[in-house]
Amino acid sequence: MLTKAEMPACPVATTVQMIGSKWKLLIIRNLLARPWRFNELRKDLEGISQKVLTDSLRSMEDDGIVTRTAYPEVPPRVEYALSELGESMRPIIKAMEIWGLNYQKSAK
């Protein structure tokens, strides 16, 4: 998680820094529905590389947006879910969805 000294002065810039990449937004979109396993996310997010998915999930875990639960099974099972902080982004993603739908409707 960022310290206050590491955060930009602008709150919009802080939000962009946390979730500003295309892939992070799409990962959050998926995790809003339910917890996902790594390979499920990789298959659903067409075009994402394993490295980018790994780096994005680790970054969001470090920032407190995503939780990672490893189950002691053979083979190992790991699930990713939104933390309480991640869930608090639901209105942001919903607003983006509504804007996108309205834009799609108005496109010629």
Residue 101's domain comprises: 4-106
Domain count, the chain: 1
Going 20 to 26 to 31 to 35, the CA torsion angle's sign is negative
**What CATH number is associated with residue 79?**
1.10.10.10
Tens digits of per-residue pLDDT, 19-67? Answer: 888 899 999 999 999 999 999 999 999 999 999 999 999 999 999 999 9
Q: How far is CA 63 from CA 7, 72, 84, 85, in A?
A: 12, 25, 12, 9
Q: What share of the chain is helix, strand, coil (3-state, %, to 5)?
A: 60, 15, 25
- Give this prediction's pTM: 0.86
Cα distance between residue 56 and residue 39, in whole Å: 14
